[in-house]
Amino acid sequence: MKSFLTLGPLLFNWDIKKIREFYFKIADEAPIECVYLGEIVCSKRAPFLEPVLQELTERLKQAGKEVIYSTSVLIESDKELENSRTRVQAWANGLVEANDMAAIHFLLGKPHCIGPYINVYNEEALLYLTEQGAIRVTLPFELPQTSIAALSQAQNRANLELQVFGRQPLAISARCAHARAYGLHKHNCQLICGQDLDGMAVLTLNQQPFLVVNGLQTLSYTYCNLIRELTELQNLGVSYFRLSPHHTHMVEVAHVFRNVLDQKYEGEEGYRRLQALLPEASFSNGFYKSEAGYVNRGKG
Amino acid sequence: MCVPTQSAETRKYIKLFIQSAIVMNTPSLELVCPAGTPAALKDAVDHGADAVYVGFRNETNARNFPGLNFSADELAEGITYAHAKSCKVFVAINTFARAGASHLWHQALFDAERLKVDAVILADLGLLHYCHRTYPNLRKHLSVQASASNVESIRFYQKAFNVKRMVLPRVLTVSEIANIYHKTHAELEVFAFGGLCVMAEGRCALSSYATGKSPNTSGVCSPASHVHYEKQGEKLISKLGEFTINVFESHESAGYPTLCKGRFIANGKPLYLFEEPVSLNTISILDKLKAAGVCAIKIEGRQRGRAYVAEVVRSFRAALDNPEGSLLIPATQLSTISEGQTETVGSYERGWR
């Protein structure tokens, strides 16, 4: 089975100049087959991405990449709901990835993708969504290997995708902790989250790095890194491998993953190369290993 | 003849007034109370619960704590006791079935149907689908763990699985709730008192990031098995797994280290980043919730003791039965038993966000 490398939606609030440069570089240089676009964390940021969405899409498609529109994680107001509906209906470039039940309702009966924010924990949920038109399902972040194995054995026509690189989204709130930390209110937040390109570090009171906050979203401080588990995941039947965009050498990161998927070198060698590329990052694979998410376990 | 014309604004207010009047004349809010044990069930029933909600003693429910919950036999007795006093019994089967182990969740549904519970409270798509096909006559409520936060999501659950009642996530304002009611006419149940989730429920893996156990996978959040306290001079440190969740000076009262109520350093300074250790109390806005179209209010706390259940149920019963509304409620009594002893109406007011 062929293995595809994908780039998940950008979670952080980068300025448009940086976003354009980032995706142009991805288009030109990254061995990635599919890119997810869309502001999924905060509806206040969406108007900034909107004007360049089509340009980015065309650029990526010209480079031979599939482009999928990714919807909001948390929809509350009717305005957010209608914006989401309009964007989904206006998307004429291919598939849409649903990250909320409302988006699934818009997409019923049409081929679509299910994002990792939809709770697909078991075979029945997977089969139900497949019957409704899901053709690719990105599994929730906290699923262990045992669940992934069981899901991949379900009589299922949808392809399975899993995030294998990047900080892991852990929670979403109606309240903005990012604004709160800067003494601001959500309704007058000045889009302060734009200051922290990979999220705002959250330390424990004894200075231990713990989480990062990205607007309404809370992520892991550690970077999920499943490069040593890639071959096992391929054997289980997972065929799409998601990298989550960070303010780092993403093109080089993609090459390392591509090389391990293509068995140019082993996962352990890939892991060493990622350590060299991101010397400041702590990696984790705890969720996959049925442990606390922050844990990082080698072989044996 | 001259007919006075009404401005659009006036018409809007007349419409709202009529709607509110209709709502206010409908039966009182249903009081849905927690019962972590058979004894707590009896207390809740005796003190005036309209319904109690319970869970089986395993990972199928989101309060899977040691020493809590019901065996099938205990539930049968509890149902007999509650029904004799016209109190309904809802069973929460509201975790997400583990892949390869769905039989455990199916057994819970089988028992719930067999024992003739009044409703099951579900969150998992797979389980909703299974229940809808297998027990079409078993009344389904959507758990807060499904986090249905908008009109379209609620329509989906109504249409796909014939879910009758939605327990709304604790992220919505009163006006958003009113809008949802207006557009879906679903039975809406909201949390009225107790622990307050800051994050969208059922979509939070903070606890499993720190401990390996989360509400979705194990039915626990910040589990006691991973909590410990360390004394450091005059200070008391509360930890969850490897992580310090709070440090208390000698003059501060120490609380349980629920992850999202911890004190952390962000932007260079220590603060309660997500939420202070507060407790939800909506007793002052029950009329607003009712006017918004809410039909039932839920007390959180299946893990809390009998004294808590008795006191909270009695207070809310008094509030609901008093036609003067919430002004005569023994709020002071309530505040002494809430978690952290500080209260908030949470997201129901927009300023919380």
Q: Binning pLDDT at 50, 70 and 90, where does residue B339 land? A: low
Q: Is the same domain home to B227 and B318?
A: no
Chain A residues with beta carbon closer than 8 angstroms to that of B271: 180-181
Which pLDDT score, from 0 to 100, does residue B341 have? 54
Tokens at A259, concatenated: 């090389």
Q: Is the same domain home to B68 and B159?
A: yes
The reply to whether B70 falls in a domain is yes
Which pLDDT score, from 0 to 100, does residue B137 have? 97
- Predicted confidence (pLDDT) at residue B307 exceeds the cutoff of 70: yes
Residues of chain A with pLDDT under 70: 300
Contact present, B88 and B44 (Cβ < 8 Å): no
Q: Binning pLDDT at 50, 70 and 90, where does residue B126 land? A: very high
**Other beta carbons less than 10 A from residue A90's beta carbon:** 10
What is the per-residue pLDDT across B32-76, written as a single tens digit (0 to 9) for each? Answer: 999 999 999 999 999 999 999 999 999 998 888 888 999 999 999
The reply to whether B3 falls in a domain is no
Q: Is the same domain home to B192 and B221?
A: no
Q: Binning pLDDT at 50, 70 and 90, where does residue B328 land? A: very low
Q: Is the same domain home to B138 and B175?
A: yes
Domain boundary among B247, B271, B295: B271
Contact present, A96 and A71 (Cβ < 8 Å): yes
**CATH number reported for the structural domain that contains residue B117 in this entry:** 3.20.20.70
Compute the distance between CA of residue B154 and CA of residue A15 in angstroms, rounded to an integer: 35
Q: Does A77 touch chain B (CB under 8 A)?
A: yes
Return the amino acid letter for A193: C
Enumerate the domain spans of chain A.
4-168+223-284
Helix then strand then coil, % of chain B, to nearest 5: 40, 20, 40
Q: Is the same domain home to B46 and B185?
A: yes
Which pLDDT score, from 0 to 100, does residue B324 have? 63
Q: What is the mean pLDDT of residues B103-132?
A: 98
For residue B310, give how far its alpha carbon lies from the nearest alpha carbon of chain A (Å). Answer: 32
Q: Binning pLDDT at 50, 70 and 90, where does residue B23 land? A: very low
Compute the distance between CA of residue A156 and CA of residue A131 in angstroms, rounded to an integer: 9
| N- to C-terminal Cα separation, chain A | 27
Tokens at A261, concatenated: 């998927």
Q: Is the same domain home to B170 and B239?
A: no
Compute the distance between CA of residue A91 and CA of residue B163 in angstroms, rounded to an integer: 31
Compute the distance between CA of residue B294 and CA of residue B292 in angstroms, rounded to an integer: 6
Which pLDDT score, from 0 to 100, does residue B64 have? 83
Which pLDDT score, from 0 to 100, does residue B165 have? 98
Q: Is the same domain home to B220 and B310?
A: no
What is the rounded (10 degree) CA torsion for A172, A175, A178, A182?
-170
Which among B152, B217, B275 is the nearest to A105, CB-wise?
B152
The reply to whether B1 falls in a domain is no
Q: Is the same domain home to B219 and B152?
A: no
Tokens at B153, concatenated: 């999501």
Which among A106, A119, A287 is the nearest to B202, CB-wise?
A119
**Other beta carbons less than 10 A from residue A22's beta carbon:** 18
Which pLDDT score, from 0 to 100, does residue B335 have? 57
The reply to whether B314 falls in a domain is yes
Which pLDDT score, from 0 to 100, does residue B5 have? 45
Percent above pLDDT 90 for chain B: 71
Compute the distance between CA of residue A133 and CA of residue A129 in angstroms, rounded to an integer: 7
Q: Is the same domain home to B82 and B151?
A: yes
Q: What is the mean pLDDT of chain B?
A: 88
What is the per-residue pLDDT across A163-194, written as a single tens digit (0 to 9) for each? Answer: 999 999 999 999 999 999 999 988 899 999 99
Q: Which domain holds residue B94?
A: 8-196+278-352
Q: Is the same domain home to B134 and B215?
A: no
Domain boundary among B271, B304, B325: B271
- Predicted confidence (pLDDT) at residue B269 exceeds the cutoff of 50: yes
The reply to whether B201 falls in a domain is no
Q: Which residues contact B61 (CB under 8 A, 6 or more apart)?
A: B55, B69, B92, B93, B94, B95, B108, B219
Q: Regarding beta strands A112-114 and A134-138, do their DSSP bridges make them parallel or antiparallel, or are they unpaired?
A: parallel
For residue B176, give how far its alpha carbon lies from the nearest alpha carbon of chain A (Å). Answer: 7
| Domain A4-168+223-284, CATH class in plain words | alpha beta
- Predicted confidence (pLDDT) at residue B12 exceeds the cutoff of 70: no
Q: Is the same domain home to B137 and B266?
A: no
Compute the distance between CA of residue B213 and CA of residue B208 in angstroms, rounded to an integer: 4
**Other beta carbons less than 10 A from residue B230's beta carbon:** 11
Domains contained in chain B, number? 2
The reply to whether B2 falls in a domain is no
Which pLDDT score, from 0 to 100, does residue B11 have? 53
Q: Is the same domain home to B100 and B32?
A: yes
Which pLDDT score, from 0 to 100, does residue A284 have? 98
Q: Binning pLDDT at 50, 70 and 90, where does residue B21 land? A: very low
Contact present, A104 and B125 (Cβ < 8 Å): no
Which pLDDT score, from 0 to 100, does residue B292 have? 96
Which pLDDT score, from 0 to 100, does residue B338 have? 56
Tokens at A294, concatenated: 């922050």
For residue A46, give how far its alpha carbon lies from the nearest alpha carbon of chain B (Å). Answer: 19
What is the rounded (10 degree) CA torsion for B268, B272, B273, B279?
180
Of residues B135 and A1, the one with the higher pLDDT is: B135
